[in-house]
Amino acid sequence: MCPAQVQENEQRGYIIPVGGGEKKVRTSTILQKFVELSAGPDARIVIIPTASELDTAGQRTHGVFRELGVTNIEIVDLSTREECEDPKQLERLENATGIFFTGGNQLRLSTTIGGTSAASVIRHGSARGVHVAGTSAGAAFICEHMIADGKPGATPKRGMVSLAPGLGLTNQVIIDQHFRERDRIGRLLTALAYNPFATGIGVDEDTAAFIGPDDTIEVFGSGGLTVLDTSHLEYSSMAEARQGQPVSLMGVRMHILLAGDRYDLKKHTAFPGNK
């Protein structure tokens, strides 16, 4: 699903994948920044806990935003496709200045929300300036090509990853979460071998990539952001590899970014935080 078109005199909102395991406390730099972008104390935050099987997922996140000074917070649990067409739920999404997807299972998000009016409202909201964040499964869901499942390991292999359509807020990146904690570099490289036009973004826990309207990423949080750049890919053996076989990739560039570091998705250039 392609991103909605940004209209003249409007600016796309930030797209914010969080690697999971973020500090759900008032001192979290990730959530503080999200609230600040979304209008601070005047923010209208919508929490979507669809990915989680836990009834407490939305309430826990609600409490954190309360601690950060936000009073206008709504939990919109889109648990069925029918609810994704409910005018009352759509109105809540349309009125939001910030939308936050909790973690869980990203296939719950794609199979419940994908292709519905709710998905359309969120995409168009993003195009007119609404900031959309997702943690863990929510992070995987926000891009066009979503990693649905996969195996750990450092070496890319044919069949190592399963892809599904995501929400489609951006088609420039493929996102993987819990990245270094769960040894997911191989599955992200495999996803890029299938889609070498995209940039791979591996987000560690308690870490977020704030993708701005100018397509520059800034890192927040305590972990690292792994950027896999295939813009100069020279060779891939994906077409010849059999199921389960390793895949050769030549010309991939890798950057490890920490808090304050930036990456320009258009120029494929990384910048340290002190420059």
pTM: predicted TM-score of the whole model, two decimal places? 0.96
Residue 1: per-residue pLDDT: 61
Among candidate residues 64, 70, 80, the one with its CA nearest the CA of residue 27: 64
Place of tokens 């053996």: 237
- Tell me how crowded residue 94 is: count the other CB atoms within 10 A of its CB: 13
Domain of 42, CATH number, reads 3.40.50.880
SS (H, E, C) 27-62: CCHHHHHHHHHCCHHHCEEEEECCCCCCCCHHHHHH
- Residue 224 has which token pair? 């690292």
Cα–chain-centroid distance for residue 108? 15
Strands 131-135, 98-101: pairing kind: parallel
d(CA 99, CA 97): 7
State the catalytic residue, choosing from 62, 131, 145, 178.
178
Which residues make Cβ contacts (< 8 Å) with residue 56, sequence separation at least 6?
none
d(CA 7, CA 2): 15
Residue 86: per-residue pLDDT: 97
Amino acid (one-letter) located at 142? I
| DSSP class of 73 | E
Q: How many CA atoms lie within 13 A of 265 on its CB side?
A: 20
- Does some domain include residue 275? no
- Does some domain include residue 186? yes
d(CA 33, CA 29): 6
State the catalytic residue, choosing from 28, 136, 144, 236.
136
d(CA 102, CA 138): 6
- Residue 27 has which token pair? 């001192």
- Does some domain include residue 9? no
- Residue 195 has which token pair? 């889609």
- Residue 131 has which token pair? 């900031």
d(CA 218, CA 134): 16
- Does some domain include residue 78? yes
Contact 209, 259 (CB under 8 A): no
- Residue spans of beta strands (DSSP E) within the chain: 15-18, 44-48, 72-75, 98-101, 131-135, 145-150, 161-165, 173-177, 199-203, 207-211, 216-221, 225-229, 235-236, 249-250, 253-257, 262-264, 269-271
Residue 178 annotated among the catalytic residues of the structure: yes
Residue 268 annotated among the catalytic residues of the structure: no
- Does some domain include residue 150? yes
- Does some domain include residue 144? yes
Residue 110: per-residue pLDDT: 97
Residue 28: per-residue pLDDT: 86
| Counted domains in the chain | 1
- Does some domain include residue 274? no
DSSP H or E segment with residue 67: helix 57-67
d(CA 13, CA 97): 9
What residues make up the domain containing 150?
15-269
State the catalytic residue, choosing from 22, 144, 205, 218.
205
- Does some domain include residue 231? yes
pLDDT in tens, the chain (275 residues): 678 788 888 899 999 999 998 877 777 899 999 999 999 999 999 999 999 987 778 999 999 999 999 999 999 999 999 999 999 999 999 999 999 999 999 999 999 999 999 999 999 999 999 999 999 999 999 999 999 999 999 999 999 999 999 999 999 999 999 999 999 999 999 999 999 999 999 999 999 999 999 999 999 999 999 999 999 999 999 999 999 999 999 999 999 999 999 999 999 999 998 76
